[in-house]
Amino acid sequence: MIIILTSKLIKNSNKGSLVTSGTKKRPDGRAFDEMRHLKIEAGVLERADGSSYVEIGDNKVLAAVYGPRELYVRRLLKPNMAILRCRYNMAPFSVEDRKRPGPDRRSIEISKITAEALNPAVFLEKFPRSTIDVFIEVLQAEGGTRCAGITAASVALADAGIPMRDMVAACAAGKSEGQVVMDLSEWEDKEGEADLPIAMMPRTGDITLLQMDGHLTSDEFEKALDLAIKGCQIISEEQKNAIKNRYGD
């Protein structure tokens, strides 16, 4: 009954690769090891103890931190350390087709792994019996929101004055059109062969989040992992700048 003449899908998929001077460029014109546009700001919200805003490509993500604060749910309380809770949420208007408000299985999983990605960096033992709450709001999604969320969350944690071993940075790599590439775009994520998001503590190189789906040979995996690590390092520099800019340094 309904015919879609020029669908949103078609609109986004007419992205054949360009071949320029021998090297194969990606659909959006980036080199294989090139990141999308990146912008990070710290201290963007009034009420939260710490906050940040991150744009990676067309992703727009807000993060807020409250805490350490009193924990009212006794069964969650840990006598010797704080707990870190995370809620990753997508705005209904953040995606092409409106998303129903509230958590779904995907956002619950991402919330869990985000908390686990941040956990090792935070000196939780300094605040026994309390909670540190991290809220991530995806205002616009364009592939790689979980990484953008983690990146934003660590800046918000730092902004809240929470002591940490490092600021966790996150970036994905993967394979698209037969090529291993850094920081997958939405199209590369959907149409590509593999996606490998990671989070790490750049100072030590410790990896705190690792997910993968798709298909990679072990050589490709290694290459993708190295690209993702390189991406995290680039992001890490921007995170530091964001904090320093806030205080006019």
Partner 1 sequence: MLLIEDKQIVVPGEILAEGDYHSGRGTFKDVDKVCSSLVGLVAVRDKKISVIPLQSKYIPKRGDVVIGKISDIRFSMWELDINSPYSGILPAAEVFGKEKRELNRAFDVGDVLFLRVVDVDEVKKVKLGLKGRGLGKFRGGILIHITPTKVPRLIGKKGSMINMIKDQTRCEVVVGQNGVVWVKGKPEMERVVQKVVKTIEEEAHTSGLTDRIRDMLLEILGEGKEKTEDVKKEEDEFKEELIQ
Partner 2 sequence: MVQSVVPEIIKESVVNLIQKGERADGRALDQYREISLETGVIKKAEGSARVKIGKTQIVVGAKPQIGEPFPDTPNVGVLITNSELLPMAAPNFEAGPPNETSVELARVTDRCIREGEVIDLEKLVIIPGKKVWMIFLDLHIVDYDGNLMDAAALGSLAALMNTKIPSTTIEGDEVVIDYEKMVPIPIKEQPLMCTLAKIGGELVADPSLEEDDVLDARISIGLRVDGSVCAMQKGGSVPLTREEVLKAIKIAQEKTKELRKSIPKA
Binding site for partner 1 (CB under 8 A): 49-50, 67-70, 79, 82, 121, 123, 127-130, 158-161, 163-167, 201-204, 239-240, 243-244, 247, 249
What is the enclosing helix (H) or strand (E) of 220? helix 218-246
The answer to whether the CB of 90 falls within 8 A of the CB of 145 is: yes
91 binds, among partner 2, partner 1, none (CB under 5 to 8 A by kind): partner 2
User: Cβ of 58: how many Cβ atoms within 10 Å?
Assistant: 13
Least gap, CB of 94 to partner 2 (angstroms): 6
The answer to whether the CB of 239 falls within 8 A of the CB of 169 is: yes
Report the first-to-last Cα separation within the chain, whole angstroms: 60
158 binds, among partner 1, partner 2, none (CB under 5 to 8 A by kind): partner 1
One symbol per residue from 193 to 212: x for binding partner 2 (CB under 8 A), - otherwise; what is it? --------------------
One symbol per residue from 109 to 138: x for binding partner 2 (CB under 8 A), - otherwise; what is it? ------------------------x-x-x-
87 binds, among partner 2, partner 1, none (CB under 5 to 8 A by kind): partner 2
Between residues 97 and 249, which has the closer beta carbon with respect to partner 2? 97
- As a whole number of angstroms, the distance between CA 219 and CA 10 comes to 33
Q: How far is CA 74 from each of CA 49, 77, 79, 129, 243, rounded to the nearest angstrom?
A: 23, 5, 10, 9, 34
48 binds, among partner 2, partner 1, none (CB under 5 to 8 A by kind): partner 2
- As a whole number of angstroms, the distance between CA 39 and CA 72 comes to 36
Phi then psi for residue 198, to 5 deg, are -135, 160
Using the rule CB under 8 A, is 6 a contact of partner 2?
yes
The answer to whether the CB of 38 falls within 8 A of the CB of 148 is: no
For partner 2, how many residues bind (rule: CB under 8 A)? Answer: 40
Residue from the set 36, 82, 94, 153 that interacts with partner 2 by CB under 8 A: 94
Q: For 59-182, where are the alpha helices, taking DSSP H only?
A: 105-118, 145-159
Residues 215-244 that bind partner 2 (CB under 8 A): none
